[in-house]
């Protein structure tokens, strides 16, 4: 009976231990050794330290950590050799490390890109036996032509007038939002995404806006002023109803917009009123709610921050009923833990958390020391219904 227990007990212990989030033994490194105390098993968050043999210098961090049942990349031990006598250069960037006449093998220098330039690669390079390892690249920004925008009748959202006669520079990996100038509307077949200029190394395509015009309205049982043959965007008229009639939405001022007159100039009797507008998930209508709305009344909806509106933002009271309300599509969010789990990072910026609206694309890259998994989803991931299909990377062999 005792011999049976002794044969089964190790198997039970092994089953218990391997069910936890543990890592295998830390990897060995050439020309170096682990100096931390060895453990029977390594749990999530455990760390171990390395050092190099005499005559070698450490490249990378001396500590590695157990994360997600895998160790973070181990350092390398480089043979001490020739010094580096010249300082490496970087185009459109500068070295921020104190300059020296000579650099010992294994030492490093750190870089910083000039204003508006984005860094691709590690921000430091190492002296390896008289030669410098690969230096990073400073990617050129995108020059947004304000003269071109003026010809297309667009402007930068939130941009002050002090730069109106200069180019606007946008860092690689970021974007700038454009909008039509007052009195103009997007040209036909221009989607909202066309008004977000992304600096990704491709040629810039500017959206185009056109003049907004309105014909004189036909107001049954009422009049309006001023009277003109043609009206332009943001022009206003004042409506007055005949005796016995009232304004359909209670507003006596209408504006010429890309969708025509807003609100629609209309005089009617009291029939066909609507109750309070319907509420929507992750959004609400603007303005104070009342117990009833006149026929033709219009209410605008707005989604919460980062939620993307699907459908018309305005609803109208028609024959006692509101037209279809819009919906608010959920954004995609992700943390550094989500990205570390897949050994990836944002390609064009460094951030601890990711936010992106539904329908937007986010581009990823493998972390240092990892390679794309052949079965991985695309590295340009689409945010759809609040979900993001993360790509995956595997360690270099």
Average pLDDT of span 290-317: 85
C-beta neighbour count of 265 within 10 angstroms? 26
DSSP at 235:
-
Residue 351: what pLDDT? 60
Write the CA distances from 225 to 23, 219, 235, integer angstroms.
79, 11, 11
* pLDDT for residue 1 is more than 70: no
b/e burial code for range 78-96 (CB count within 10 A of at least 16 → b):
beebebbeeebebeebebe
| pLDDT tens string 96-133 | 988 888 888 778 899 999 988 999 988 889 888 888 88
* pLDDT for residue 177 is more than 60: yes
Between CA 339 and CA 88 the distance in angstroms is 32
Between CA 373 and CA 378 the distance in angstroms is 10
Write the CA distances from 266 to 64, 106, 173, 259, 290, integer angstroms.
72, 80, 49, 16, 20
Superfamily of domain covering 17-79 = Complement Module, domain 1 (2.10.70.10)
6 pLDDT band (50/70/90 cuts)?
very low
The CATH class for the domain spanning 93-139 reads mainly beta
CATH topology of domain 142-211: Complement Module; domain 1 (2.10.70)
Nearest to 295 by CA among 270, 261, 312, 313: 270
Omega into 24 within 30° of 0, i.e. cis?
no
| pLDDT tens string 363-378 | 888 988 899 998 988 8
* pLDDT for residue 185 is more than 80: yes
Between CA 232 and CA 210 the distance in angstroms is 11
| pLDDT tens string 209-256 | 999 999 999 988 899 999 999 999 889 999 998 886 777 667 889 999
* pLDDT for residue 352 is more than 70: no
Average pLDDT of span 62-77: 92
Superfamily of domain covering 213-329 = Complement Module, domain 1 (2.10.70.10)
Write the CA distances from 254 to 66, 220, 389, integer angstroms.
65, 15, 46
pTM beyond cutoff 0.75: no
C-beta neighbour count of 245 within 10 angstroms? 17
Superfamily of domain covering 332-395 = Complement Module, domain 1 (2.10.70.10)
What are the residue ranges spanned by the domains of the chain? Answer: 17-79, 93-139, 142-211, 213-329, 332-395
Between CA 346 and CA 364 the distance in angstroms is 5
């Amino acid at each position: 009976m005792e011999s049976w227990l002794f044969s089964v007990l190790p198997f039970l212990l092994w089953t218990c231990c391997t069910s936890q989030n543990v890592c295998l033994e830390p990897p060995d490194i050439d020309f170096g050794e682990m100096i931390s105390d060895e453990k029977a098993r390594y749990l999530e968050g455990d760390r171990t330290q390395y050092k190099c043999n005499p005559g070698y210098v450490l490249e990378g961090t001396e500590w590695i950590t157990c994360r997600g049942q895998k160790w973070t990349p181990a350092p390398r031990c480089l043979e001490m050799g020739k010094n580096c006598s010249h300082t490496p250069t970087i185009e459109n960037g500068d070295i921020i490390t104190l300059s020296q006449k000579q650099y010992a093998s294994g030492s490093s220098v750190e870089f910083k890109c000039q204003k508006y330039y984005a860094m691709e690669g590690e921000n430091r390079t190492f002296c390896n036996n008289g030669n410098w390892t690969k230096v990073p690249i400073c990617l050129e920004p995108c020059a947004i032509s304000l003269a071109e925008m003026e010809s297309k009748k667009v402007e930068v959202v939130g941009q002050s007038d002090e730069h109106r006669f200069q180019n606007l520079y946008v860092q690689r990996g970021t974007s700038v939002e454009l909008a039509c100038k007052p009195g103009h509307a997007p040209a036909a077949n221009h989607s909202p995404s066309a008004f977000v200029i992304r600096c990704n190394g491709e040629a810039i395509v500017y959206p185009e806006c056109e003049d907004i015009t309105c014909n004189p309205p036909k107001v049954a049982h009422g009049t309006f002023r001023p009277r003109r043959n043609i009206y332009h965007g943001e022009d206003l008229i004042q409506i007055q109803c005949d005796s016995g009639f009232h304004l359909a939405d209670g507003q006596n001022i209408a504006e010429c917009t890309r969708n025509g007159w807003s609100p629609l100039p209309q005089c009617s009797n009291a029939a066909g009123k609507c109750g309070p507008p319907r509420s929507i998930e992750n959004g609400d209508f603007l303005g104070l709610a009342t117990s009833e709305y006149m026929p033709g009344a219009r209410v605008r909806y707005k989604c919460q921050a980062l939620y993307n509106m699907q459908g018309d933002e305005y609803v109208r009271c028609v024959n006692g009923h509101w037209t279809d309300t819009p919906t608010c599509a959920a954004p995609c969010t992700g943390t550094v833990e989500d990205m570390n789990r897949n050994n990836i990072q944002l390609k064009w910026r460094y951030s601890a958390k990711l936010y992106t609206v539904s329908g937007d694309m986010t581009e990823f890259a493998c972390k240092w020391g990892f390679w794309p998994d052949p079965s991985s989803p695309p590295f340009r991931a689409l945010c759809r219904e609040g979900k993001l299909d993360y790509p995956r990377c595997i360690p270099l062999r």
